[in-house]
Structures are given as C-alpha cells and as structure tokens.
Amino acid sequence: MMNAEGMDVTQNKLEEATIKPWAEKTWQALSESTWVADGKEDADRIIYMFTDANCPFCHKFWQQARPWVESGKVQIRHILVSVLTDTSAGKGAAILSADDPARALYEHESAGPENGVQALESIPVEINEQLEANNDLMQDLQIEGTPGIFYFDEAGELLVQRGAPLEDSLEEILGNQ
C-alpha cells in the first residue's frame, strides 16, 4: 500500500511482523543450543557458527577470525554438528566432553581438521544428544553445510553467511578491526 505521496506504508510493518520475530526466535534458539565459546565473554560482537570438526571451510573461517577474536572484539560460539564424515560426531564429542571444551576447540583448530582432536569411539549419551539437537537446529534453520554463520550487521539485522566468507566480507561479519 502507498500513501498519497507514493511512499510504501506497509514495508516497515511487514518487517516488524515477520523478520523481527524470526530474528528473535532464531537468536534465542542459537543461544540455547550447545556451543563452545571462542573468545572473550564480554566481546562486543557475538557470532554463532555451525561447525563440523572435519570442515576445512570452518577451519578457514576460524583462521580468518583470529585477529578479531584475539583482540577481544568478537566471540564465536561454535555449535558443533556432525554432518560431514563418519568421524565428525566422535571429534565433536571429544571437544564437547573435554575438561575445557574451549581449549580443546582451540587446539583442534590450531592443528587443523586432519591433525586435531582424535574422534571418540564411544560417545556418551548426553553428548550424542547435544550433537543431535545441534544437527536438528541446523536443519530447522535450513543450513545445508558448514560453516553456517549467524551475526547481526551494523543496522541490527540478523544475517546468515553460508559457507566460508570471502575476505572482503569479513568486516561485515566480524566488525571493524
């Protein structure tokens, strides 16, 4: 609908009725999932990322994000999933069941997907349920591969990056360095 000046008077209301509730519901679901923090608790920017321990593109983004994470500006919350290979669940379980999951994730990513954590052969029931719930959430949010990155842009809009971002979009996702 347009007003007398030809301005769209429905766009804002439509966005408030659809996009805003979707963003709030999605962010809530992400925050309630099982995740491993990479970065400071009080970082300016929080990002959720569906991560498979065998994913080379997740590893690439982990490397790209180091300057932001290490400066304390960004915290990436890795939602571990098991979608790529037979060892994905065992590696994700090894990270989640570690005494210090954040340290285990850091060591795994520092070594790279092929040389990182060893997959657990027997996954504890509780950890398996967490991985399955994360896989279900990934599917519910229509993320078909890893990484799946959720972040708020400078305008406060929830956006999704599917796959490893290109260098020129890192500041959009991670903020200014």
The model's pLDDT over 144-168, given as tens digits with 9 standing for 90+, comes to 999 999 999 988 899 999 999 999 9
Peptide bond between residue 56 and the one before it cis (omega within 30 degrees of 0): no
Contact 97, 120 (CB under 8 A): yes
Q: Tell me how far apart the alpha carbons of residues 138 and 82 are, in angstroms, rounded to a whole number.
A: 10
Q: What is the mean pLDDT of the chain?
A: 91
Angle at the Cα of 66 from the Cα atoms of 176 and 165, rounded to 5 degrees: 70
Residue ranges of the domains in the chain?
28-174
Beta partners for residue 8, in sequence order? 2
SS3 76: strand
pLDDT at 151: 96
Whole-model pTM: value is 0.88
Give the residue among 16, 78, 73, 8 at the shortest CA–CA distance from 42: 73
Beta partners for residue 74, in sequence order? 45
* Superfamily the domain 28-174 falls into: Glutaredoxin (3.40.30.10)
pLDDT band at 72 (very low <50, low <70, confident <90, very high): very high
